[in-house]
Structure 1
Amino acid sequence: MTNTKRTLEIKILTEEQAMQASAPRFLDAWNKGEYAGEYLTFTSPGMFFEVINARRWDLVVKLQKLGKTSIRELARQVQRDVRRVHDDIKILIEHGIVEQDAGGVFVPYDEIHADFTLTAEAA
């Protein structure tokens, strides 16, 4: 997986839809023995927006441009309080969108794709 572009696909699915979607993806990746991307699934738009709000999305975008950096430098770049940026980065790390090592924080994905559909039935 060293030369493979890492991708993250973010979806909003019901628990049933998430279970139905994960089994074929797992089996396909297992059978092919190839990297098939990574997935983050939320069961409601509310849960999605609770984790990925506008300020946190801005941090992800800025980190993709900057590469690995310190939280202090990230806060300086986005002109926000260091403590608030730290709190937001902690949540993004907990959900696997951002990673951290001794060199700083970074987005490990070359590509992030968010996908969801709103229907009258879901309302």
Structure 2
Amino acid sequence: MRVEDEIDKLRHSISIIQVVLQDAEERQVKEKAMKIWLGELKEVAHDADNLLDEFCLEALMAKSRGFFMTRLFTDFFPSLKPIAVYLEFLAAERLNFNLKVLSLLRNKLTKEEAS
């Protein structure tokens, strides 16, 4: 898989995480397993967000210097893969908690369209 595809996949995962967090935040008070899962999710989402920020900054600097992006992709891919794999694991675990994703996602999209 190309690095660009992995980055797009990571961006999509972060969007879904933001939607799921609302439901998980409300339920963590009552459910200890939810609290643990939510903590892990926040940590990996933070790591993913930082990696994307760092990648974007490096890409801008490389572009301004006239460097090829191939080296940048090669440097970032080893950091990207474990985060993507762990996000997939947490996404699968989410099913055990019956978190509301679709309705929250619809609400988020409706709010964005209104603004």
Instruction: Work out whether the TM-score is over 0.5.
Output: no
More strand by share: 1
Give the TM-score normalised by the residue count of structure 1: 0.29
More helix by share: 2
Give the TM-score normalised by the residue count of structure 2: 0.31
